[in-house]
């Protein structure tokens, strides 16, 4: 089932609470969250999550589950925005795919915007269970997910245990 907010919107409560798993695609994180909050979807998703529904996503669809995320919702710069907060911490997708990602995460760490940040390279996913069990899933090209922090003035990228899934 595909939920599209730009046509007639179905009974969201019935739709969301019937799902075993929810996948959210990419796009503009800021705009997506604003529409969700306006429709009350954020609260329905939290109820579903608390009831055991598996939440997943890519890019903006991964950002949304964390407390805050590094987003490209504006044309000029990457920014950190508040997200749904189902998962503790901060997140950055496309960590190796877009040249401004790594330097921006470093800048946010240096400025104290956050103390650490989870980051996933392209073709990698971060599997999180119970906010404390992290595994990186590699979909090809030896990609990984990390917990990124500062050690002095140096960026520390601690890779998570990796499981590879080859097509």
Catalytic residues: 59, 94
Under DSSP, the state recorded for 49 is H
Q: Identify the CA nearest to 108 among candidates 141, 77, 70.
A: 70
At a CB cut-off of 8 Å and minimum separation 6, what does 20 contact?
53, 54
If you count them, how many residues does the chain have?
167
CA distance 110 to 106: 6
Angle at 89 between CA 117 and CA 99, to 5 degrees: 30
């Amino acid at each position: 089932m595909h939920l599209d907010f730009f046509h007639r919107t179905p009974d969201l409560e019935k739709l969301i609470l019937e799902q075993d798993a929810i996948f959210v695609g990419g796009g503009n994180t800021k705009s997506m969250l604003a529409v969700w909050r306006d429709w009350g979807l954020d609260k329905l998703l939290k109820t579903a999550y608390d009831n055991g529904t598996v939440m997943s996503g890519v890019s903006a669809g991964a950002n949304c589950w964390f407390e805050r995320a590094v987003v490209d919702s504006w044309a000029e710069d990457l920014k950190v925005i508040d997200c749904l907060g189902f998962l503790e911490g901060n997140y950055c997708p496309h960590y190796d795919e877009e040249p401004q990602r790594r330097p921006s995460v470093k800048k946010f760490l240096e400025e104290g915007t956050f103390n650490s940040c989870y980051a996933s390279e392209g073709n990698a996913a971060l599997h999180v269970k119970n906010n404390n069990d992290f595994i990186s899933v590699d979909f090809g090209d030896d990609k990984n997910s990390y917990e990124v922090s500062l050690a002095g003035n140096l960026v520390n990228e601690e890779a998570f245990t990796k499981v590879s899934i080859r097509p």
